[in-house]
Amino acid sequence: MQSFQPPRRILMGPGPSDVSPRVLAALARPTIGHLDPQFQALMEEIKAALQRLFNAPDHACVPLPAPGTAGMEAAMMNLLEPGDRCVVAVNGAFGGRMADMAGRAGATVVTVDHEWGQPVDPARVEAALAEAPTKVLAFVHAETSTGARSDAASLCALARKHGALSVVDCVTSLGGIVVDAAAWDADVIYSGTQKCLSAPPGLSPIALSKQAQAAIAGRKEKVRNWLLDFNLLMSYWGGEGGRTYHHTAPINALYGLHESLVVLFEEGVQAAIVRHARMHEALAAGVEAAGLKLLVDEKHRLPQLNTVLVPEGVDEAAVRTHVLEAWDLELGAGLGPLKGKVWRIGLMGASATPWHVRLCLTALCEALAAQGVTVDAKAVIAAADAKLR
Ligand SMILES: *Cc1c(COP(=O)(O)O)cnc(C)c1O
C-alpha cells in the first residue's frame, strides 16, 4: 500500500464543499482522550456554539457522530413509535428518505408529494394534518436534490397548531440561509458538517426542543437504534453529573467542526448568509447570460444550491467530465427524475466566493463550447461581475 494523495479538487456540487486550510489543520491536531477534561470543555463549547447557530437557546444541541443522514435517522427513530402517524412533505430525494425512515420506525406514513423543484405547499400539508391526529410532521427546509427552499416557519407553526412535533432537515440550509429554531418553534432540527459549514462530512449537529425531549422520555418502548438513542446519548453529552461512556466521540472530526464554527462566527452568521446570496445572484446572472435556465422559480431558489437545466442536445455527464478534467472542478448531477436533466452547482460555505463563481462560469462556458454550443464567455463573466461589484 501507499499513502493516498487526493487530487486537487474544487468542490461545487451538492456537498461536500471546499474545506478551508484552517479546518484541515485543526483536524490534524493531536488526538486526546474523549473523557479528557480539556476535551469535555471542547464538547461544551461546541454545544453552546450549536445553540447559537441554530438560535436554539432552549433546545438540547449536540453533534451526532455520523453524517447528515444520522440526524434524520435520530429524529425519526427517537420520536416515532410503531403505529404513530407521521406526515412527510416530499418535494425531492431527501423528503423521500425521511418517509422511508419513518416507515422503518413503524409509523403510519402519509406523504404529501410535490413536483420536484417546487417548495412544500403549506395548505396541502395542513389538509393532511387535519385528517387525523399526527405525531410528527417532517420536511426538508433546503431540498438539495432540487434547489428549492420551503417555508419552515409556516410548516412548524402548522405542526404546533395540529399537536404534531416538527422535524426540519436543515442539512443544506444551516450557515447558508436563515435557520431559526426559536422563531420557528421547531422541535427537531438537524444538519451536517459538509455543506455550508465547510467541515468534512461525518457529523450531524442536531437540536431537540423541550417538547421533543419529553416525547422521547415518555416513549412506551425503547428507541430501536442504540447509537442514536437520545436518552443514552445525553448521558454522554448532557454534562450534568459527569459523563458516562456511551461511544467514543470522533475526536478529531470535532476539532474540525469546532474550527469551522470559529471561522463562521468570525465572519458573522448574517454576513455569511449575505455572502451566499450575493454569490448566488452573480452565478445566476452568469448562467442566464449563457442562455441557460434554472429549475426553481426565483422566489424559492436556494442560494447555496443552483439547479441548472441542461439545454437540448447537450450531454450532461460530458460537461461534468470536462470541467473535472480540465479545471479540477466538481459539479453535481441530477438525482431521480432530474437525472441527466440538470447540473447542481453548490455555493456552500468556503465554496461561495467570487473566485468560485468566475471559475465555474468559465469552465462551464468552455465545456458547452466543446459540445458546439456557442456562448459569449466574456459576456457571461461580465454579467456575474456586475453583481459582484
Ligand atoms: C446532504 C443532505 C442530507 C444527508 O447528509 P449526508 O451528510 O450525506 O448524510 C440530508 N438532507 C439534505 C437536505 C441534504 O442535502
Write out pLDDT tens, residues 267-311: 999 999 999 999 999 999 999 999 999 999 999 999 999 999 999
If we measure between CA atoms, which residue out of 344, 350, 330 comes closest to residue 92?
344
In 3-state terms, what secondary structure has residue 374?
A: coil
Atom 2 of ligand 1, residue of closest alpha carbon? 171
**Cα–Cα separations (whole angstroms), residue 382 to 360, 362, 386:** 14, 11, 6
Ligand 1 centroid, distance to 45 Cα (angstroms): 24
Are β-strands 108-113 and 85-90 bridged in parallel, bridged antiparallel, or unpaired?
Answer: parallel
Over residues 224-277, the pLDDT tens digits come to: 999 999 999 988 888 666 688 899 999 999 999 999 999 999 999 999 999 999
* Number of alpha carbons in the 13 Å side-chain half-sphere of residue 234: 14
If we measure between CA atoms, which residue out of 170, 88, 70, 171 comes closest to residue 135?
88
Average pLDDT of the segment spanning 321-342 = 98
Q: What share of the chain is helix, strand, coil (3-state, %, to 5)?
A: 45, 15, 40
Instruction: Give the per-residue pLDDT at 378.
Output: 97
Q: What is the mean pLDDT of the chain?
A: 97
Is pLDDT of 205 > 70? yes
Does the Cβ of 15 fall within 6 Å of ligand 1? yes
Ligand 1 atom index nearest CA of 69: 9
Q: The C-alpha cell of 297 is what? A: 422559480
Ligand 1 atom index nearest CA of 145: 15
- Cβ atoms of residues 116 and 172 within 8 Å: no
Domains of the chain: 20-265 (3.40.640.10), 269-388 (3.90.1150.10)
Instruction: Give the per-residue pLDDT at 241.
Output: 60
Instruction: Give the per-residue pLDDT at 244.
Output: 83
CA R_g for the chain: 21
For a mutational test of ligand 1's pocket, the pick from 11, 69, 98, i.e. the residue with the most ligand atoms closer than 8 A to its C-beta, is: 69
Instruction: Give the per-residue pLDDT at 222.
Output: 96
Contacts 24+ apart (CB under 8 A), 368-373: 368/290, 368/314, 368/319, 370/318, 370/322, 371/313, 371/314, 371/315, 371/318, 371/319, 373/311, 373/313, 373/314
Instruction: Give the per-residue pLDDT at 334.
Output: 98
Helix (H) or strand (E) holding 167, with range, is: strand 165-169
Read off the DSSP letter of residue 283. Answer: H
Average pLDDT of the segment spanning 57-83 = 98
Secondary structure, 3-state, 63-110: EECCCHHHHHHHHHHHHCCCCCEEEEEECCHHHHHHHHHHHHCCCEEE
Contacts 24+ apart (CB under 8 A), 374-382: 375/290, 375/291, 376/289, 379/289, 380/286, 380/289, 380/290, 381/286, 382/289
Instruction: Enter the pTM of the model.
Output: 0.98
Ligand 1 atom index nearest CA of 201: 7
Over residues 154-182, the pLDDT tens digits come to: 999 999 999 999 999 999 999 999 999 99
Instruction: Give the per-residue pLDDT at 2.
Output: 97
Ligand 1 centroid, distance to 199 Cα (angstroms): 14
Q: The C-alpha cell of 313 is what? A: 442536445
For a mutational test of ligand 1's pocket, the pick from 17, 88, 171, 307, i.e. the residue with the most ligand atoms closer than 8 A to its C-beta, is: 171
Task: Give the integer Cα–Cα distance in Å for 88 and 80.
Answer: 13
Name the maximum alpha-carbon separation found in the chain.
68
Ligand 1 centroid, distance to 69 Cα (angstroms): 6
**DSSP structure string for 180-241:** -HHHHT-SEEE--SSSTT-S-SS-EEEEE-HHHHHHHHT-SS--S-STT-HHHHHHHHS-TT
Instruction: Give the per-residue pLDDT at 267.
Output: 98
Does the Cβ of 194 fall within 6 Å of ligand 1? yes
Instruction: Give the per-residue pLDDT at 238.
Output: 82
Average pLDDT of the segment spanning 68-85 = 98
Ligand 1 atom index nearest CA of 195: 1
Task: Give the integer Cα–Cα distance in Å for 177 and 327.
Answer: 28
Does the Cβ of 69 fall within 6 Å of ligand 1? yes
